[in-house]
Amino acid sequence: MRNYDNKTKEELLEIIEQLEKKTEYLSSQSVCTDSERFRERYGMRILDALPDMLTVFDHDANIIELASSAATNHVEGTDSESIISSNVKDILPKEAYENVRRNMDKVIRTGKSSTARHDLVQDGILHHYENRIFPLDDEYLLCMCRDISKQWDAEQTNARQKKELDAARIKAEESDRLKSAFLANMSHEIRTPLNAIVGFSKLLASAESAEEKNQYAEIIDRNSEILLNLFNDILDLSSLEAGSLKFNIRPIKLIDICLQLVQQFHYKTQSSVKLILDDVDTDMYASGDWNRVIQVISNLLSNATKFTPKGEIHFGYLEKEDFVEFYVKDSGIGIAPERAATIFRRFGKVNDFIQGTGLGLTLCRMLVEKMGGRIWLRSQEGKGSRFYFTLPLVRV
Stretch that binds ligand ADP, among 89-97, 142-150, 163-171, 347-355 (CB under 6 A): 347-355
Beta strands in 31-180 (DSSP E): 53-58, 63-67, 114-122, 125-135, 140-147
From candidates 114, 185, 385, 390, binder to ligand ADP by CB under 6 A: 385
| Comparison of 167 and 354: residue with beta carbon closer to ligand ADP | 354
User: Judged by CB under 6 A, does residue 330 bind ligand ADP?
Assistant: yes
Q: How far apart are CA 172 and CA 179, in angstroms?
A: 10
CB 131 within 8 A of CB 145: yes
CA 170 to chain centre: 12
CB of 239 to ligand ADP, least distance (A): 17
Radius of gyration of the chain (CA): 43
User: Judged by CB under 6 A, does residue 273 bind ligand ADP?
Assistant: no
From candidates 135, 193, 316, 356, binder to ligand ADP by CB under 6 A: 356
CB 107 within 8 A of CB 101: no
Residue 267, helix vs strand vs coil: coil
User: Judged by CB under 6 A, does residue 19 bind ligand ADP?
Assistant: no
User: Judged by CB under 6 A, does residue 303 bind ligand ADP?
Assistant: yes
User: Judged by CB under 6 A, does residue 358 bind ligand ADP?
Assistant: yes
Stretch that binds ligand ADP, among 65-73, 135-143, 213-221, 355-363 (CB under 6 A): 355-363
Site string for ligand ADP, 80-119 (x = CB under 6 A): ----------------------------------------
Closest alpha carbon to 146 in 236, 11, 53: 53
CB of 208 to ligand ADP, least distance (A): 36
Closest alpha carbon to 254 in 164, 347, 318: 318
Distance set, CA 24 to CA 29, 36, 37, 54 (Å): 9, 19, 20, 37
| Comparison of 219 and 335: residue with beta carbon closer to ligand ADP | 335
Closest alpha carbon to 391 in 367, 366, 374: 374
CB 62 within 8 A of CB 101: no
User: Judged by CB under 6 A, does residue 133 bind ligand ADP?
Assistant: no
CB of 229 to ligand ADP, least distance (A): 8
User: Judged by CB under 6 A, does residue 350 bind ligand ADP?
Assistant: yes
User: Judged by CB under 6 A, does residue 292 bind ligand ADP?
Assistant: no
Contacting positions for ligand ADP (CB under 6 A): 299, 303-304, 307, 330, 332-335, 343, 348-351, 354, 356-362, 385
